[in-house]
Structure formats: C-alpha cells, structure tokens
C-alpha cells in the first residue's frame, strides 16, 4: 500500500491512505495547540498561581531547551526508524507535559512541564512534517506548516475562552486538560495507521514511474537545502512572539487579560495561515521569501517606533504585518526543505529548520533582559536590520539562480 497524499486522495486511493492523511494533520494541529495555548495562560497563572512575569516569560522561552534537541533527534530518528514511533512518543510527551502543569501549577512545575512539552512538540513537528512530505511530495510540507500554525492560533483562543468562562482555578485546570486529551487521542490514532517512511515514498514514486516534482533526486543535497531554508527560519517565530508576548505587554493596561494573547494569536497566526495558503496560489514566484523578510523588517521598525507604550492601532497593524512575515517565511523555508533535501535526510533537514525557527521563542526573555539597558526601541531596530539583510541575501540568491524553483502546483 502506498503512502497517502495530504488532504486529498488520489484516484484509486484506499481508505487507509485517507486515514493516515487526516491523522497526520490532526496530530500536527494538536501539537501546535499543546504548545502555544500557554501564551493565553500567562495572565491566568500570574493571577491564580501568583507566578511573577519574569518567571512566566522564562518558562515560555526555556521550553526551547527541550524543544531544540528533540527537533534534531526526532527528525533523525524518524529517518532511520520511521515517522510513527517518533510521532507517538512526541504526542505522549506533549500530553504528559501539560498534565504536569495541570497538577503542579507553581513556577517549578510550569518550568518542568514546559520542558517536557518542548521535548514532545519538537518530535512531532520534525517527524510529522517529514511524514506529511512523504505522503505528498509537492504539497505535504507546506500543508503541515498550515496545520501546525492553525494549532498555534486555535490553542490560545480556546484557552482564553475557557479561562474567561470558567472560574479561575477550574478554568486553568480545564485549559491544560484539553490539550492533554487531544494529544493523547492523537497518539493512540497514530498507532493505527501504516508507516512507510521515506523509503516508502521513494518506492511509490519508482513504482508509479513518477519523476521528482522539482530537482532530480541525484541533485538533492542537504547543504543547499539548509542554505536556502535556514535564513527564512530566523523570522518564523521571531515574528509571532513579538506580537503575542512583547506587544501584548506594552499595550495599555485596559486591554490586559487572557483574551489579549488570543486576539494577538488571531491577528498574527491567523494572518500567517492565510499567507501560507496564499503562497500556493502564487507559488511560481520565487520572491516570496524576500517579501516575508521585508515584511518582518517593516513590522520591527513599526514596533520600534512605537516604543514602550503601544497603541491599539499600532498593535493591530504590527501583528498583521508580522503574521504575514511569519507565514511567508515558514512556508518558503519548508518548501526549500521539501524540494532540495535528500529523501533520506528530510527529517534531519526539517528538524534543523525548526530548531532555528523555534529559537524565536527566546526573544521575549532576551528583550526583557536588555530592555532596561537599551530601551524598548533599539532591539527592534536591530532585528529590523537583520531581517533586511536576510531579504537582500535571499534576493541575491534568487537572482544568481540559487533559490529553488517551486514545483508546479
């Protein structure tokens, strides 16, 4: 049985193919929910558990200590041993981490829980994206990015609504319980589907007599894939965390509360989803990565100009601009990996891409560390300058023919 195509069933596809498709998508959605719903929990935990703002910011960013190594290990292990066991392990850890935070709602408990969630989500993001690309050579990775982003957006919104409707401590417990249930169910579902891995994808293509949708297999190399994708990765979560964490802390206090991160998620991550979907309609234009980095530059300059006190209009505009930058950079980077990385190293390449992407979660902690010394605006201008350099470098690469040409959609 051949692997399934993501979100669509080829003529003659078996029911198992469609089942694997939707379970992969649901797993990525639940993983995004399980990690990013914590953004809406920050004001709730500050009020209910009396955890300080620096402590919560540190917990938000320090989960990268678990995330980054698991992205690398998860991708490599899935290349060698299959996608499914890595996915099941990652989903189980994501559920366990949220369960720890539910039962141990103190700063040590939140920190431990976030580290465990990071370990799990790193595995799911790398192995799940590679699994999606195995299922559909031309659209799988991009669609995986859309579903993961959707989970990032839906999680904070759902958690904010739960915290708003339910009593304080009961709402916090319920908000942690929902991702525990989602990721746990997805782990059980993943056990029920076949896993052919990269070898199965290559065998399917050879049996069908297909040619690779982009560069021929012999020309796929890990180095060019990383050279194209990693500069895009720099501006993925470095954009949305500015909106969801930094700007929400700088806006007027009358807008404070758990609903504000949810609004930021809708504006930035929701815009990112739309940007990724739109990429497929203009996929033949190789300048999308340039546009993404340029939009990041614009968003940082706008945030820097606003200073330490951000008005509502500036918050909305910056969130939308940075959301577009997030979506375009994520979609372009995943496309580069999908089309340039060797099939046997796709998991490793995906993991490396996400390692660089998720480093953006440390930005709120870094900015808080240096804000008293440098002010609120200077770090934003530094980020803007670096994003502009990335846009110019991508433009030069594109003109020299080094950027990959998108496959026909």
Whether 373 is covered by a domain: the verdict is yes
- Domain count for the chain, please give it: 1
Domain span holding position 355: 15-194+221-399
Whether 205 is covered by a domain: the verdict is no
We report the CATH number of the domain holding residue 282 as: 1.20.1250.20
Whether 202 is covered by a domain: the verdict is no
| Average pLDDT per block of 10 residues along the chain, 409 residues long | 38 54 91 91 87 82 82 88 94 97 92 94 92 81 86 90 85 94 96 71 48 47 89 94 89 77 88 87 76 97 93 94 95 88 86 89 81 88 96 89 46
Whether 9 is covered by a domain: the verdict is no
Per 3-state DSSP, the chain is made up of helix, strand and coil in percentages (nearest 5) of 80, 0, 20
Question: Exposed (0-12), middle (13-18) or buried (19+): which is 284, by Cβ within 10 Å?
Answer: exposed
Which helix (H) or strand (E) is 339 found in, with range? helix 312-340
Question: Exposed (0-12), middle (13-18) or buried (19+): which is 393, by Cβ within 10 Å?
Answer: middle
The DSSP code for 404 is P
Q: What is the predicted pLDDT for the residue at 364?
A: 81
Q: What is the predicted pLDDT for the residue at 16?
A: 58
State residue 401 phi and psi, 5-degree precision: 85, 10
Could you please report the per-residue DSSP string of 168-225? HHHHHHHHHHHHHHHHHHHHHHHTTS---HHHHHHHHHHHHT---SSS-GGG--HHHH
Whether 344 is covered by a domain: the verdict is yes
Which helix (H) or strand (E) is 407 found in, with range? none
Is this structure's pTM higher than 0.85? no
Q: What is the predicted pLDDT for the residue at 401?
A: 63
Whether 405 is covered by a domain: the verdict is no
Whether 119 is covered by a domain: the verdict is yes
Q: Which residues contact 212 (CB under 8 A, 6 or more apart)?
A: 137, 205, 220
State residue 13 phi and psi, 5-degree precision: -65, 145
Q: What is the predicted pLDDT for the residue at 36?
A: 87
Which is it for the CA torsion 261, 267, 268, 274, positive or negative?
Answer: positive
Whether 63 is covered by a domain: the verdict is yes
């Amino acid at each position: 049985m051949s692997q399934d195509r993501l979100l669509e069933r080829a003529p003659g596809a078996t029911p198992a193919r469609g089942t694997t498709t939707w379970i992969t998508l649901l797993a990525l959605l639940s993983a995004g929910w399980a990690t990013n719903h914590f953004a809406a929990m920050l004001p709730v935990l500050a009020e209910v558990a009396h955890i300080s703002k620096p402590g919560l910011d540190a917990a938000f960013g320090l989960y990268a200590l678990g995330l980054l190594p698991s992205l690398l290990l998860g991708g490599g292990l899935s290349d060698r041993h299959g996608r499914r066991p890595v996915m099941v392990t990652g989903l189980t850890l994501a559920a366990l981490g949220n369960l720890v935070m539910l039962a141990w709602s103190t700063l040590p408990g939140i920190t431990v829980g976030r580290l465990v969630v990071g370990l799990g989500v790193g595995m799911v993001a790398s192995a799940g994206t590679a699994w999606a690309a195995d299922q559909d050579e031309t659209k799988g990775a991009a669609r995986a990015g859309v579903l993961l982003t959707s989970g990032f957006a839906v999680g904070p919104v759902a958690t904010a609504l739960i915290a708003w409707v339910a009593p304080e401590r009961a709402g916090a417990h319920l908000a942690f319980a929902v991702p525990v249930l989602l990721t746990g169910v997805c782990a059980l579902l993943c056990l029920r589907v076949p896993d052919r891995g990269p070898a199965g994808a290559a065998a399917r293509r050879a049996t069908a007599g297909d040619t690779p949708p982009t560069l021929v297999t012999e020309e796929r190399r890990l180095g060019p894939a990383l050279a194209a994708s990693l500069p895009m990765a720099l501006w993925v979560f470095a954009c949305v965390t500015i909106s969801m964490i930094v700007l929400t802390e700088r806006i007027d206090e009358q807008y404070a509360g758990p609903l504000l991160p949810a609004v930021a998620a809708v504006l930035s991550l929701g815009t990112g989803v739309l940007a990724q979907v739109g990429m497929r309609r203009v996929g033949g234009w190789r300048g999308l990565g340039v546009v993404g980095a340029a939009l990041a530059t614009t968003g940082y300059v706008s945030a820097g100009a606003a200073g330490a006190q951000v008005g509502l209009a500036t918050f909305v505009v910056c969130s939308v601009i940075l959301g577009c930058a997030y979506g375009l950079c994520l979609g372009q980077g995943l496309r580069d990996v999908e089309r340039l990385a060797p099939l046997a190293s796709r998991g490793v390449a995906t993991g490396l891409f996400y390692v660089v992407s998720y480093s953006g979660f440390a930005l709120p902690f870094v900015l808080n560390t240096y804000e008293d010394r440098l002010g609120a605006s200077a770090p934003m201008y530094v980020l803007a300058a670096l994003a502009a350099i990335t846009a110019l470098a991508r433009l030069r690469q594109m003109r020299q023919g080094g950027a990959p040409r998108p496959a026909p959609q």
